[in-house]
Amino acid sequence: MKSQKLKMSFDPHTIEHLGIKMYSVLPNAIAELIANAYDAEARTVHVKLYNDNGNKRIAVIDDGVGMSFDEINNNFLRIGRKRRTDDDGLSPNGIRKVTGRKGLGKLAFFGIGDTIRITTCQNGQCVKFTLSWPELMSTNSQEYEPKFSIYKCDTKQNGTIIELDDLKRKSDFDKDDLAISLSKLFNFFDDTFKVYISYNEEGELLINNELKYQNLSPQIIWDFPNEDVKNEYLENHNVIGRILATEKPLKPGLRGITLFAHGRLVNAPEFFGVGESSHGYSYLTGWLNVDFIDELEEDVISTDRQSLSWDLPVTSELQANLKQLLSAIERDWRNKRKIERQKRISGKVQIDIKDWYGKLPSDVKSGVENIVNNVVENSELADDKQTEVVGMLHALIPEYANYHWRHMHSTVKDASYEDYKNADFYRAVEEAIKRYETIIQKVSGLKIDGQTLMGAVFGKNNAKLSVTSKYKRTDGSDFSESTKENIEDGQKFMSMGLMAGVRNPLAHEEKKELKTTDLFSEKDCLDILSLISHLFRRLDDAEKLD
């Protein structure tokens, strides 16, 4: 037993640079301990945070296979060990693809604490040893010999406990915040690998893959591969993932797409060179699994696992296709968001926006769509404000705007509306004229029709109806006889002209010829409907003469 000893070979300056400077951020350092547990085939990991009157410490406990004394010496304490070469990249029993690659993760301990106590058990033997940062840095040789002890334990007591003490951290722990941060560094949490986090042995919280997006409100989700945004290169490389767009813009730190390989972060959230001038990218977040990157012979993942080496041919091709994918998603987002907002607004104002567009004149439709799409739907106005704006716009420019703008008489609308909706403006005019003629016959009691009817009913001489007799000046006096006669004759001649110049041509000529030659256009029909509305208004005020 006395001949046994543990050794760590190192250059102290390398340890200082890689250990402290690279892993000084708490989530990244703890992530290394979680990754070690995963690679050791653990099914459950407990991250325990403690603060006893300012004395802060961390314990990470796993139920993995543990380490023998020789494995500690040859593997764990060997800095820079190429695990993929030594172990074929598999966990001890070959059930997992290991996440470790460079052999530097163990230095994470020293990034956050000066004293590391490790207890690891395997097959009835436990090894307990302590790594001290001050001792390590004060050694005069390139070998550091940590203190240790070996003792027997239950053969079922496999696993490893790593306790971090003498922490450099000044602020207190935030369990919930740390849980979310850790969830963003991994994508392999499931029923076969569970990680819990607690603070002072209270309120243990399960860390899972959904935690990273739990406070977001997804509006649109793309599970990749996706039929709407296909990318042959990514599909051929078995890239899978989920990208989502939120209802409101994300804070800058939450935007971007994270890349994972075998469940572990390899590239922090970004948009891979796509132009981010479109505000659509401020709504996008998500992740993609690019496992093939971790299986390349060449290591293209940075030491701190925050980025890939994008200047290599294989990664450049990946980046180009990711850029292409995100551009397609941004376009699809615009279309889907437009439809989604239209549904919400339509429901609130009870207007079928698509149907409304279809019933607008062509020279008005594009302007209305532009206002709704760009000013309303693409703005950051709240839904209630958007609804209010669309409601006001609809009131100003309703369906069949040309029809409404002429302020059609209610009787004209009743007679012609169905034909107007069907865009049969000629028939709409004919039906309105028929209704006008029928009502005049009923009011006057005359059985004649056409110009003869109009000449007999209206005018200054021998008329059956007067359209001016009920009107007085504001002082109670009569309007001049000439004014009243002119209006009476106007009603007569306009009504006769309606029969001669409108009804008769429409009855005797092909509508196609009238429309094609522009002899009697659809716009003329709209103008005539306005004229009939004026004549009806006069008729409403008419008094029967003896």
Of the given ranges (267-276, 368-377, 439-448, 511-520), which has the lowest mean pLDDT? 368-377
| pLDDT on residue 385 | 76
Which sequence spans correspond to the domains of the chain? 8-208, 218-333, 405-544
Of residues 130 and 141, the one with the higher pLDDT is 130
- Is residue 7 exposed (0-12), middle (13-18) or buried (19+ Cβ within 10 Å)? middle
The predicted model gives 321-342 an average pLDDT of 88
H-helix segments, 40-148: 69-71, 83-86, 108-112, 133-138
Half-sphere CA count of 312, side-chain side, radius 13 A: 13
| pLDDT on residue 505 | 93
Question: In which band, very low, low, confident or very high, does the pLDDT at 130 lie, cut at 50, 70 and 90?
Answer: very high
User: Cα–Cα distance between 533 and 482 in angstroms, integer?
Assistant: 24
Strand partners, 257: 270, 286
The predicted model gives 321-339 an average pLDDT of 90
The backbone region for 221, taken as left when phi is positive above 0, alpha when psi lies in -120 to 50, beta otherwise, is: beta
Whether residue 51 has pLDDT greater than 60? yes
Q: What Rg value do the Cα atoms of the chain yield, rounded? A: 41
Of residues 49 and 213, the one with the higher pLDDT is 49
Whether residue 86 has pLDDT greater than 80? no
| pLDDT on residue 290 | 96
Per the document, the length of the chain is: 546
Of the given ranges (141-150, 449-458, 499-508), which has the lowest mean pLDDT? 141-150
| Secondary structure (H, E, C), 7-53 | CEECCHHHHHHHHHHCCCCHHHHHHHHHHHHHHCCCCEEEEEEEEEC
Please, what CATH class does the domain formed by 8-208 belong to? Answer: alpha beta
pLDDT tens per residue across span 391-421: 888 877 888 777 776 788 999 999 998 998 8
| pLDDT on residue 451 | 93
| pLDDT on residue 194 | 96
The predicted model gives 193-205 an average pLDDT of 94
Whether residue 281 has pLDDT greater than 80? yes
The predicted model gives 119-129 an average pLDDT of 95
pLDDT tens per residue across span 91-112: 888 888 888 666 666 667 777 8
User: Cα–Cα distance between 499 and 450 in angstroms, integer?
Assistant: 6
Whether residue 25 has pLDDT greater than 90? no
Pairing between strand 202-207 and 194-199? antiparallel
| pLDDT on residue 378 | 60
Q: What is the pTM of this model?
A: 0.66
Of residues 349 and 539, the one with the higher pLDDT is 539
| pLDDT on residue 17 | 57
Whether residue 381 has pLDDT greater than 80? no
User: Cα–Cα distance between 304 and 267 in angstroms, integer?
Assistant: 10
Whether residue 15 has pLDDT greater than 80? no
| Secondary structure (H, E, C), 418-441 | HHHHCCCHHHHHHHHHHHHHHHHH
Q: Which residue has the tokens 């172990």?
A: 87
Question: In which band, very low, low, confident or very high, does the pLDDT at 81 lie, cut at 50, 70 and 90?
Answer: low
- Residue 311 main-chain phi, psi, to 5 deg: -90, 5
**pLDDT above 90: percentage of residues in the chain:** 56
The predicted model gives 221-244 an average pLDDT of 95
User: Cα–Cα distance between 343 and 79 in angstroms, integer?
Assistant: 59
Greatest Cα pair distance in the chain: 138
Whether residue 383 has pLDDT greater than 80? no
Helix (H) or strand (E) holding 269, with range, is strand 264-270
Task: Report which of 313, 283, 278 is spatially closest to residue 298, judged by C-alpha positions.
Answer: 313
Question: In which band, very low, low, confident or very high, does the pLDDT at 70 lie, cut at 50, 70 and 90?
Answer: very high
Q: For residues 116 and 85, is the Cβ–Cβ distance under 8 A?
A: no
Question: In which band, very low, low, confident or very high, does the pLDDT at 367 lie, cut at 50, 70 and 90?
Answer: confident
Whether residue 10 has pLDDT greater than 80? no
Q: Where are the beta strands (DSSP E) in 371-530?
A: 465-466
| pLDDT on residue 459 | 92
Q: For residues 251 and 280, is the Cβ–Cβ distance under 8 A?
A: no
| pLDDT on residue 199 | 95
